[in-house]
Amino acid sequence: MISRRLLRIKIVQILYAYFNVPSDERDMAVFEKDLNFSIQKTYDLYCYLLLLIMDVKKYAENRIDLAKNKILPTEEDLHPNTRFVENRVISSIAESADLKSYLKKQKISWINHPELIRYIYDNLIQSSYFQDYMSAQEDDYLTDKQFVLKFYSKEIEDNELLYQTLEEQSIFWNDDIEFVISMIIKTIKLQQEGEPVKLLDLYKSDEDKVFASSLFKKVILMADRNRSLIEKHTRNWDFERLAFMDMIIMQTAISEMVEFPSIPINVTLNEYIDIAKFYSTPKSGHFINGILDKISTELKNDGSIVKRGRGLKEG
């Protein structure tokens, strides 16, 4: 379930690419297709990382089988602790018909990255939470679920090999990992014992899908007007030297304020100020805040911004 925040980021990124090519090469339909592809890739990553723990489990099973077939197996080899490979939640993920269908359709697999699976497994078995889980007295669904939640909270973060592997496969995944992990954690928390895992929908609602497409188009169609507004309120600046990303962010914010009456102005401002802090220069957040505040005041005064709905009337 992709968030409005991530939709805004992807819209800004595709708009950056759109306005960065010569005007005679700008095909709105082509770039809108790129936007939809980028959004879909987020869902690919969601399913791809759900698959990850299953492959780590399969690797653990192979290790157990190899140990049993040693010429001189130890007692531990013959009677291994199978708690991890029998984890009920991982089995629920594996039993998800929706997940299996999606992975097959999109041809998603970790088969070409055995070194990553081995690396994650080696790190996992050395972790304190894994050792606590394997030796815990409690053996129930909740304990299994808590372990899987810890896996996704701990094994993905700061895993440079995983990040490198994902980056090599898709440039669209660079900024998605943190959000996708939150999607997976929500998926696991909603999981009920005895049922296959149910995947979240790509969009929270049809409204979000319309929001993404509509905002992208509105920014392009309103580009000249928005640029004039920004130029008017940056007279003390060298307009041509403004950061290009700042320009894209401000144009997107203005279009959202004007064209989406159900979204409060303060929500729009806060979203794009935060995006600017992360994706533009260190001073961009403060700069954009000041400019957008002036522009929003002007647009409210001349009636260009009208908010509707309970609690949305702007004073």
- Give me the CATH number covering residue 269: 1.10.940.10
Can you give the residue range of the structural domain that contains 123? 4-190
- If asked whether residues 181 and 72 sit together in one domain, one would say yes
**Inside any domain, residue 252:** yes
The rounded distance, in Å, linking the Cα atoms of 152 and 198 is: 17
pLDDT tens figures, 168-226:
999 889 789 999 999 999 999 999 999 999 999 999 999 999 999 999 999 999 999 99
Cα dihedral 114, 118, 124, 127 in deg (nearest 10): -150
Would 212 be classed as within a structural domain? no
Alpha carbons 277 and 65: distance in angstroms, whole number: 51
pLDDT at position 240: 62
* Cβ atoms of 125 and 90 closer than 8 Å: no
Indicate if 90 and 11 belong to the same structural domain. yes
Residues 32 and 166 in one domain: yes
Tell me which of 167, 190, 213 is where a domain ends. 190
| 31 and 152 share one domain | yes
Q: Are residues 89 and 231 in the same domain?
A: no
Say if residue 169 is in the same domain as residue 297.
no
Spell out, as residue ranges, where the chain has pLDDT lower than 70: 237-241, 309-315
Give the chain's domain count.
2
293 and 250, same domain (yes or no):
yes
How far apart CA 95 and CA 198 sit, in angstroms, is 10
